[in-house]
Structure 1
Amino acid sequence: MNSLILAVIGVGMMIGGYLLYSRFLGNRVYQLSDAYKTPAHTMTDGVDYVPTNKYVLWGHHFTSVAGAAPIVGPAVAVIWGWFPAFLWVTIGTVFIAGMHDFGALWASQRHKGQSIGTLSGRYIGNRGRNLFLVVIFLLLLMVVAAFAVVISNLLVSTPTAVIPTWGAIIVALLIGQAIYRFKWNLPLVSVVGVVVLYALMIIGDMFPITLPESTFGLAPNAVWIILLFIYGGIASLLPVWVLLQPRDYINGLQLFVGLGILYLSFLLTAPTIVAPAINTNVPEGTPSIWPLLFVTIACGAISGFHGIVASGTSSKQLDKETDARFVGYFGAVGEGLLALGTIIATTAGFRTLADWEEIYQAFNDGGVNAFVAGGGALINEGLGIPTSLSATILATMAVLFAATTMDTGVRLQRFVVQEIGEIMGVKLGALAATAIVIAVALALTFSAGGDGSGGMLIWPLFGTTNQLMAALSLAIITVILTRLRRPTWPVLIPLVFVMTVSLWAAIVQVRGFWDTQNWLLLVIDLVIIVCAIWVTVEAFAAMNRARNEEPVVWSDDDTDAPAPVVAAKKL
């Protein structure tokens, strides 16, 4: 099959979803209003609450939620064939991911920018909140630790990406000053920033940087991991406008340009997809496509991590409530486009089926490397960009996606630790909470040895935990909509589907961990399953109570949505 057909259909579906379905959600379900003053204005503090241009905020949100997962997940999942992966990415993006991200952002900014974890306590009670926080903490730990390993491996395997990766931080610092301190023209700053980033890629391709085999007794991977956590800790403590926001914005533009280059190569080469539509000859040991497909491709179809970002940082920077549609829904579309591009690159970037099968000899053999190899070959063929530079561009894309997610994850984990501290009666400052986050993540990362590979120990649980987190977020949104007497079916139907396949996948994994005697993952998986089921039961009970209560009307003059009567009594 010609991959160009797949690209046109997929892109058309996602753009159509933004133009049509997100408009329906904004008008009928979330009922956005420009008259409402967002927390960024009513609670401005210059650190976390900062009114932000919607394009800049979109860049922050898009790059924070994207990470490496929409590359890794689809690049692995095509082992079952490109057709199931294509269906889940496109339908999931249009009807589930966009709605979820949009809804979490909307709900949070109507509640003073409170996190989805805090909203769970507000709408289903303290017990539900505490269990919710367990799931959030574990999910963020997986993201922060695993992405540090992914980035370090890429910096070692593709040393040409080192200069653009670290140079992007300096560019971001300068852009933050240019936009907020000197009030320079945003389009001009944006163009200059993107040009500089791509110039850094060319320089990096010319001057690769490789660390010594041993530095103070540490392997290169370990050194990069330590440096990444030092950076993540500093970035999480700085005001968002200094580094986090401009870094994510300029990375978002650069990454969108990179996606444009990738899709342009599809247009010019129109490569044939060599992988089977449905693979009936999967390698031995490959798990069943049902329900594992839906958790293998998490980011790129729906992701609970997106709700944490939307309610953790993005909601505090929303300038106007109507901006939530562009930032939230279109942010999900951006990730869907990346996942779609990954599917095409990893199925059409090889000359023959035999070449493809040589890469996909086992379930987890596909991944970032398959994306870089396949996509780099297509860019080289279509645009004439040297193979080395093509690989540098794609590797830098993957690193910057993962890095922006990692530093945002550290900041969000700090909020969670502080919230847990409050529940326990301990008030933690930002520095102390960040130190705890870094210490726990480093302990996990180096628990398997000095190379830092321990960060991947609990990664097999990421897909199921991430999807369960998304279902729990949808449950909170459904409770809110029920109290407002607004349409709930756009949220309730995806909630039931995502919760079903995620719990099913988690139970399948329990048996796998039992058979392999992986007791750590077995215990964590069981904890997550119990928490998810418990919170879900309490959420559905809250929905039932909400149906019997008097409907609530939110006024545009309210600086915070009124608390539910039942939840207020529990608190």
Structure 2
Amino acid sequence: MNAMVLLLLGLAGLAGGFFLYSKFIAERILKLSADFKTPAHEFEDGIDFVPTNKYVLWGHHFTSVAGAAPIVGPAIAVIWGWLPAFIWVIVGTIFLAGVHDMSAIWASVRNKGQSIASIAGKVLSPKARSLMMVVVFLLLLMVNAAFAVVIANMMVATPSAVVPVWGALVVAFIIGQAIYKYKLNLPVVSLVGVVALYLLILIGPSVPVSLPDSVFGMTPHTTWIIILFTYAAIASMLPVWMLLQPRDYINGLQLFIGLGLLYFSFIVVAPDVVAPMFNTNTPEGTPSLVPLLFVTIACGAISGFHGLVSTGTTSKQLNNEKDARFVGYFGSVGEGLLALAAILAATAGFATLADWEAMYSGFGKGGVAAFVQGGGAIMSEGIGISPELSATVLTVMAALFAGTTMDTGVRLQRYIFQEWGDIYNLNVLKKGWVATLFAVGACLLLAFGAGGMDGRGGMIIWPLFGTTNQLMAGLTLLIVTVMLMRQKSAIRYTLIPLIFLLSVTFVALLIQLVDFYNKSNWLLIIMDLIILGATILVTLEGISVLKREWKKNAPQI
């Protein structure tokens, strides 16, 4: 199979999803209205609630949800063969992810910009809200602690990426001032910003930055993790327009251009896919394709973390309810495009099958390394740049995706602590800086408490991310389904995906539980049981509400 054929098929499917399916869902099912007053206008405060241009908000949503996961998951999952990964990414993006993101934004907008956990309290029950907040908190803890490790690894492994990654913050800050303070022309500001980012990428290999082997007794990995959380804490308290939003927007443009260069290289080179369609010679210890494929590839097909962003930050910035289609659905399409690129790079970027098998010598191998190595080789040949610059471009892409997700994740975790302050009348937690300290403190406690002085504790609980993420997506669709039932819209477009997700993910969680028990990993066993128990109870609450609404409203299927 030629990679160009897969690329064109994938692009055609995703384009059809956006132009046809998303339009149907937006107009006929969600019934998005331009007349509805969004929370961004109702509660505008210049900090969290800020009416935003839909293109700028798309950049925020896309780069916040498209962290390293849509690269890592697909680039690991191809160990079962390229076809299962390809089908799940394309079908999942069209019929699950896009609908999930768009409908989650809609649900939050219709509930005054509340988070998905708070909406659960209103739509299902107060008990469901409390249980979902536990799942949300643990999911954010996994994302923030693990992504800090991922970015730190990139900074250490690719010193040429340090200047572009951190220089992007300066560019973003200037763009925020240009757009909001000085009201400059958006296309002109965007062009200047993208040029500045790519100049930084070109400069990067000439000024590599490596930290000393020891800083106050800490390794470079440890130092980077502390720097990252210090930055994330500060960024999470700034008004969204000042750094988070412009950083996400300009990164979104730059990353889309990067994807375009990678796709262009695939068309020029037209490499053959060396990986098998179905891999019948998987390494020892590789789990079964079903149901593990559907949790290994979460981001890039459907992801519960998207629901946290959709209802946590995106809904508070939506200028017009109809913008939810472009921001939410097309944001998911962007992540699907990234996942497709990861699949192609990890299967067609190697010279021979033997080279590919050497990379995939065990389950969990590949990931970012396969994406950077395979994609870098294709890009170097396709557009004639040096292998080092190709690797820098792709590393910067991955690091910026992970960094913007971490920015948003810490802000969302701050919201969780503030909501707990509201629920339990703990006034101290309602203060932004106190909630931020608790959010960052929890991440650091996991990173260093479970991982030792190297700060890799986030990776210890990372095996639970895929299942927790998909359970969260199912619960979000459950809440949306109840809301659709109450407004007498057809529910099959969310009901079928939520049944599928909860079914395969429950089985995957049980499989993981057995594996953790066999390895005597008690921390993961306890967390697995907490997540499983909370999800079962929320699901039962949801089923009870659905049954009541079914009798009351006689809904469309």
Alignment of 1:320-331 (within 5 A): 320-331=320-331
- Letter of the aligned partner of 1:504 in structure 2? V
- Letter of the aligned partner of 2:93 in structure 1? T
Distance 1:539 1:385 in 2: 54
Using the TM superposition, give the Cα deviation of residue 551 of structure 1 relative to its aligned residue in structure 2, in angstroms. Answer: 8.9
Give the equivalent residue in structure 2 for 1:437: 439
1:544 aligns with 2:544: no
Distance 2:4 2:144 in 1: 35
Give the equivalent residue in structure 2 for 1:198: 198
Distance 1:551 1:49 in 2: 37
Distance 1:41 1:26 in 2: 21
Distance 2:535 2:110 in 1: 25
Distance 1:417 1:305 in 2: 17
- Letter of the aligned partner of 2:446 in structure 1? L
Give the equivalent residue in structure 2 for 1:348: 348
* Unaligned 5+ runs, structure 1: 553-571
- Letter of the aligned partner of 1:87 in structure 2? I
Give the equivalent residue in structure 2 for 1:237: 237
Alignment of 1:12-411 (within 5 A): 12-411=12-411
Percentage of pairs with the same residue:
60
1:500 aligns with 2:494: no
Using the TM superposition, give the Cα deviation of residue 550 of structure 1 relative to its aligned residue in structure 2, in angstroms. Answer: 5.8
Matched residue SS, 1:34: coil
Alignment of 1:507-546 (within 5 A): 507-546=510-549
Residues 447 and 457 in structure 2, CA contact (< 8 A), matched pair in contact too: yes
Give the equivalent residue in structure 1 for 2:465: 462
Using the TM superposition, give the Cα deviation of residue 420 of structure 1 relative to its aligned residue in structure 2, in angstroms. Answer: 1.9
1:185-223 deviations in Å (ceiling 9; x for gaps): 100100110010010011111111111110110000111
Distance 2:551 2:363 in 1: 49
Distance 1:524 1:420 in 2: 20
Distance 2:554 2:9 in 1: 41
Using the TM superposition, give the Cα deviation of residue 93 of structure 1 relative to its aligned residue in structure 2, in angstroms. Answer: 0.2
Distance 1:488 1:349 in 2: 42
- Letter of the aligned partner of 2:499 in structure 1? V
Matched residue SS, 1:549: helix
Distance 1:14 1:185 in 2: 31
Distance 1:547 1:75 in 2: 42
Distance 2:237 2:73 in 1: 30
Give the equivalent residue in structure 2 for 1:483: 486
Residues 485 and 553 in structure 2, CA contact (< 8 A), matched pair in contact too: no
- Letter of the aligned partner of 1:40 in structure 2? A
Distance 2:420 2:137 in 1: 10
Using the TM superposition, give the Cα deviation of residue 422 of structure 1 relative to its aligned residue in structure 2, in angstroms. Answer: 2.4
Residues 483 and 549 in structure 1, CA contact (< 8 A), matched pair in contact too: no
Distance 1:357 1:160 in 2: 28
- Letter of the aligned partner of 1:76 in structure 2? I
Distance 2:160 2:448 in 1: 26
1:120-159 deviations in Å (ceiling 9; x for gaps): 0001111111110010000000000000000000000011
Distance 1:97 1:402 in 2: 19
Residues 105 and 315 in structure 1, CA contact (< 8 A), matched pair in contact too: yes
Distance 1:453 1:187 in 2: 41
1:428-451 deviations in Å (ceiling 9; x for gaps): 111100000111101111122211
Residues 309 and 412 in structure 1, CA contact (< 8 A), matched pair in contact too: yes
Residues 169 and 243 in structure 1, CA contact (< 8 A), matched pair in contact too: yes
Distance 1:173 1:8 in 2: 37
Residues 291 and 504 in structure 1, CA contact (< 8 A), matched pair in contact too: yes
- Letter of the aligned partner of 1:507 in structure 2? L
Using the TM superposition, give the Cα deviation of residue 337 of structure 1 relative to its aligned residue in structure 2, in angstroms. Answer: 0.3
Using the TM superposition, give the Cα deviation of residue 424 of structure 1 relative to its aligned residue in structure 2, in angstroms. Answer: 2.4
Using the TM superposition, give the Cα deviation of residue 251 of structure 1 relative to its aligned residue in structure 2, in angstroms. Answer: 0.4
CA RMSD after TM alignment: 0.9
Using the TM superposition, give the Cα deviation of residue 549 of structure 1 relative to its aligned residue in structure 2, in angstroms. Answer: 3.5
Aligned partner (choices 466, 471, 474) of residue 471 of structure 1: 474
Using the TM superposition, give the Cα deviation of residue 545 of structure 1 relative to its aligned residue in structure 2, in angstroms. Answer: 1.4
1:298-327 deviations in Å (ceiling 9; x for gaps): 000000000000000000100101100000
TM-score by length of 1: 0.96
- Letter of the aligned partner of 2:513 in structure 1? V
Residues 376 and 394 in structure 2, CA contact (< 8 A), matched pair in contact too: yes
Matched residue SS, 1:507: helix
TM-score by length of 2: 0.98
Distance 2:137 2:103 in 1: 21
Distance 1:137 1:333 in 2: 26
Using the TM superposition, give the Cα deviation of residue 421 of structure 1 relative to its aligned residue in structure 2, in angstroms. Answer: 2.5
1:373-422 deviations in Å (ceiling 9; x for gaps): 00000000111011000000000000000000001000000101111232
Distance 2:419 2:44 in 1: 20
Distance 1:385 1:206 in 2: 15
Residues 488 and 553 in structure 2, CA contact (< 8 A), matched pair in contact too: no
Work out the number of aligned pairs and report it.
552
